[in-house]
Amino acid sequence: MKKLAFLMGLGLLTPYMAMGADITLYYSPTCPHCHHARAFIADRLVYEYPTISVTAVNVMNGDNLPLFQDALEKCDYSSGGVPVIVIGDKCFQGYANFMQDDIRNAVEMGMNDDQKSVASNNKSALDDDADAFRAKNTARANVIREHDATANVEKKSEFSHKLIFFYGLLIVLVLGLGVVVFGRRHKK
């Protein structure tokens, strides 16, 4: 514990502590509550907290179901209702406006005082003139990235091709070595 305090005093852990929260939104395109949750995240949270990253996972895509099932298990939810918002160890199922402060608190869990101050100032600026604030911070407009299950499948496929090539090459080398070693024995 003393080492942790010492490292914090030196500022060595600051880069790790300054990382923003990761938010994962599990949604269905046909779910109205999901649209409201996504709008809150896209129109408010990504501007209030400029260091957060957001991944949206469409649960109607069959390739994403294992990921969603893992989230339900992690969150200890027995129903498969959406939206499910996962922020670190905090989970939220469903969405209503009264949940916004709880979601903000979950986002702020890993943030330092400076980041919380920035978020508070950004929230006030959004409350005063949201359009002007968003216009000044257009880089945050497209922060939500859609989870691409096919990209993971392509990476796995590429990896398996490399693995097959590696083992094939290994077999050829072992056979070649065997021919060299045993071929010399028979010549003597």
pLDDT tens, position by position, 24-47:
999 999 999 999 999 999 999 999
Q: What is the pLDDT of residue 152?
A: 52
When pLDDT is averaged across residues 50-57 and rounded to a whole number, the result is 94
Do 38 and 104 share a domain, yes or no? yes
Structural domain contains residue 152: no
For 61-73, the pLDDT digits (tens) are 999 999 999 999 9
Angle subtended at Cα 72 by Cα 63 and Cα 91, rounded to the nearest 5 degrees = 120
Read off the tokens for 182: 């045993």
User: Based on the domain organization, do 18 and 61 belong to the same domain?
Assistant: yes
Domain range enclosing 178: 157-188
| Ramachandran area for residue 129 (φ above 0: left; ψ -120 to 50: alpha; else beta) | beta
Same domain, 92 and 185: no
Q: Is 115 a domain residue?
A: yes
Which residues are CB-neighbours of 35 under 8 A, at least 6 positions away? 27
Measured from the Cβ of residue 132, the count of other Cβ atoms closer than 10 Å reads 11
- What is the overall mean pLDDT for the chain? 83
Q: What is the pLDDT of residues 106-121, one digit of tens each?
A: 999 989 999 999 999 9
Whether residues 43 and 136 share a domain: the answer is yes
Q: In the predicted model, what is the mean pLDDT of residues 172-182?
A: 77
132 torsion bin: left (phi>0), alpha (psi -120 to 50), beta (else): alpha
For residue 15, is pLDDT > 50?
A: no
Q: What is the pLDDT of residue 1?
A: 41
User: According to the model, what pLDDT value does residue 8 have?
Assistant: 39
Q: How confident is the model at residue 18 (pLDDT cuts 50, 70, 90)?
A: very low
β-bridge partners, 27: 58
The total number of structural domains in the chain stands at 2
Mean pLDDT for the stretch of residues 10-26: 59
